Structure 1
Amino acid sequence: GQAYSVFETDGAPDDTVIPMLRKLDNVDYATFIELPGSASSLSPGVSAKEIFDDGEQLLDACAELGLNIGAVMAMREARLTGEAHAIAAMRRVLDVMREETTAPIANPQQSLGGLIGGEAKLVDATGRNDLSASLMGPVQTDAVARAMAVLERSATMGVIVAAPTAGSAGVVPGCVLALADHLQLDDEQVMDALYCAAAIGLNLTTSACVAGAEGGCQAEVGSAAAMAAAALVQMLGGTPEQALDASSIALSNLLGLVCDPVGGLVEVPCQNRNAIGVAAAFSSAQLALAGIKSLVPFDQMAHVMLSVGHALPATLRETAKGGIAQAPAALSACAKCGVCG
């Protein structure tokens, strides 16, 4: 019968915060907890270069420290949670991502809603024929197959990494792991790329949103594509500025994407949209690496995405009351799945 709220801060609150919280109605207890190795070990009011709040501060940190985005994010996590914990957590993420992107291809299973299952294996098979060579190419085909596999794993209640959400969880691991295998990168380089993606996700969570219920699918798959695009740029030797340009381009190309899950399930059209997120990430990374800049900086694009999300009607923000979810074929399929019965 108790509910607990936890607020994370980068430093100890002053003497007025805790007493103020204790005076609130329905608050029985309030305290401040300091975690070993966290930023609260800093002096009050003192921050650090790697404790960034937006893209502009992130670029400043990269320049001052002489590091790429992934390395700066790794330093941030080490300072906040301790180096050993940060490394162990990221290794766990990498292990889970490898499993979730491959197991559904090797052993497809029908989703709980019955709407997806086996699509990743079908796409993976095209990576060895002329279809792949003529269209997406082998690396992007591999990335799409892996991304779709994650949604299949999620829809069968398997373990996934929300990157940044369950509905968009395939884009980052699909892109990063496919390119990493192609480039024959080691685990440390792959984790560095994942840290880069995490930095973009952190900024979007802080400055905009990543929830379909608030911002539509542009906030989920769009954010995931932005995260993956930055990671791809970094893996291919691009600069932090190019990585943020790629993220901004990815966001702009998926701007306005609605969230309309059939039956309220994270299956259709979510799985195919992860494939489109991969395509957006690959194209955005290549544009940025070619020297094409985004007219609108990353931080401004994040705010644009947020404002567009808030402008979407509720029917197009994860409620399944509009868009594809209300198409006759979707309603018919939903009635047959038996999950709600």
Structure 2
Amino acid sequence: MFYTVKELIEQSHAFPSVAALMVHTEVENSTRTEAQVRHLMSRNLEVMERSVKEGIAGVKSVTGLTGGEAKKLDAYVTSGQFMSGKPILEAVRNAVAVNEVNAKMGLICATPTAGSAGVLAGVLLAMRDRLHLSHDQQLDFLFTAGAFGLVIANNAGIAGAEGGCQEEVGSASAMAAAALVTANGGTVEQAATAVAITLQNMLGLVCDPVAGLVEVPCVKRNALGASQAMISADMALAGCISVIPADEVIEAVNRVGMQLPATLRETGEGGLATTPTGLRLKEEIFGK
């Protein structure tokens, strides 16, 4: 079992990949066989695929606060008139799709939470064809993400209610960045660098859902989390480094999370939630 990024790196060298280490860890800490563990992850992948497809087709949340923007993004990507790169925009579209499905109470795969479910699925489904990933390699992508997510969860957190959006979408983005690095042939050390770059750039991000609902600004934060993951992965693969090691960045995330007031940790009592528009929307949804 590994508890830090340093331990993850060291132990991964005894296995064919980080994914293999994560599968071994799961088998060691459960009653499941390797085949069962991989089968469960395959089911998770199927849920991701369905939620992306459903969201792109166009959905609306129960409240009407969110919905339909994944469909708009899909049309925009198809138009070819975009300014940023197509892979990033497709990841953004996918991330929005998943979280719009979540907002309508549809079925999604929490990675690591429901509120941040769009990031990992968004990046994987945008890049799998470009990287020519087989089904098993896509599962390895998810296991690699899970390995780094396990470290973040054990040393900081993954919930906005605990440490702000820096921990929720931040952890999802870091997980996706690490997995993308290894899927593109990078080393585990480069994957750790991508984690560090991602988290330090999302450090201090608050959790301030309008009306206390996981819709605004949550859906679009998943979109930007997906794009951050891809940029961090590219920087790491280019040879850029993080001056602050990944484990120390994660420690900083934990400290900042504990310093955030309760009003900025998913209570809907600060930030965007308490803007005039945010308060008006809350009243329209729930009444005075």
**Could you say whether these structures have the same fold, taking a TM-score greater than 0.5 normalized by the shorter chain as the test?**
yes
- Matched with 2:139 is 191
Deviates more, 1:68-77 or 1:94-103: 68-77
Aligned-pair identity in percent equals: 47
Higher relative contact order (CA 8 A, sep 6+): 2
| Counterpart for residue 305 of structure 1 | 253
Q: 1:184: Cα distance to partner?
A: 2.7
Match of 1:70 in 2: 19
Scaled by the length of structure 1, the TM-score of the pair is 0.81
Q: Runs of 4 or more off by more than 6 Å in structure 1?
A: none
Query: What amino acid sits opposite 2:20 in the alignment?
Result: A
Say if 1:68 and 1:239, in contact at 8 Å, map to a contact too.
Answer: no
Match of 2:44 in 1: 93
- Tell me how far 1:73 sits from its aligned partner: 0.9
SS at 2:162 equivalent: helix
In the alignment, the residues of structure 1 paired with residue 19 and residue 216 of structure 2 have an alpha-carbon distance, to the nearest angstrom, of 32
**Stretch deviating more after TM superposition (329-338 or 201-210):** 329-338
Q: Which residue of 2 aligns with 1:335?
A: 283
Q: What amino acid sits opposite 1:101 in the alignment?
A: V
* Equivalent position of 2:11 in the other structure: 61
Which AA in structure 1 matches 2:268? A
Distance in 2 (CA, whole Å) between partners of 1:102 and 1:294 is: 36
Q: Which residue of structure 1 lines up, in the alignment, with residue 118 of structure 2?
A: 170
Deviation at 1:182, TM superposition (A): 2.2
State the AA in 1 paired with 2:281. Answer: A
Structure 2 counterpart of 1:237:
185
1:262-301 equivalent positions in 2, closer than 5 A: 262-301=210-249
**Is residue 2:73 matched to residue 1:123?**
yes
Secondary structure of the residue aligned to 2:116 is coil
Match of 2:272 in 1: 324
Partner of residue 176, structure 2: 228
Matched residue type, 1:110:
K
| Residue aligning to 2:56 | 105
Once the two structures are TM-superposed, the CA of residue 79 in structure 1 deviates from its matched residue by 3.1
Report the 3-state secondary structure (helix = DSSP H, G, I; strand = E; otherwise coil) of the residue aligned with 1:128: helix
Matches of 1:105 and 1:246, distance apart in 2: 28
Does the Cα contact within 8 Å between 1:172 and 1:224 map onto a contact in 2? yes
Larger radius of gyration, structure 1 or 2?
1
Check the 8 A contact 1:126/1:141 in 2, yes or no: no
Matched residues in 2 for 1:61 and 1:99: separation? 34
AA paired with 1:56?
K
Q: Distance in 1 between matches of 2:132 and 2:72?
A: 25
C-alpha distance after superposition, 1:242-293 (max 9, x if no partner): 0010011000000000000000000000001001101110111011000011
Query: Residues of 2 paired with 1:337 and 1:226: CA distance?
Result: 34
Amino acid in structure 2 at the alignment position of 1:277: G
Partner AA of 1:312 in structure 2:
L
The correspondence of residues 12-161 of structure 1 with structure 2, limited to 5 A, is 51-65=1-15, 67-80=16-29, 81-106=32-57, 108-132=58-82, 134-135=83-84, 137-161=85-109
Q: Structure 2-normalised TM-score?
A: 0.96
Query: Is 1:253 aligned with 2:201?
Result: yes
In 1, the alpha carbon distance for the partners of 2:34 and 2:17 equals: 18
SS of 2:111's partner is: coil
Moved more, 225-234 or 71-80: 71-80
Verify: 1:205 aligned to 2:153, yes or no.
yes
Question: How many equivalent residue pairs?
Answer: 286
Counterparts of 1:187 and 1:334, CA distance in 2: 43
**For 2:172 and 2:51, how far apart are their aligned partners in 1?**
16
The CA deviation at 1:208 is 0.9
Which consecutive unaligned segments of at least 5 residues does structure 1 have? Answer: 1-50
CA contact 1:78–1:84 (8 Å) conserved in 2? no
Is residue 179 from structure 1 mapped to residue 130 from structure 2 by the alignment?
A: no
Matched residues in 1 for 2:221 and 2:128: separation? 22
Q: Distance in 2 between matches of 1:117 and 1:181?
A: 26
- More helix per residue: 2
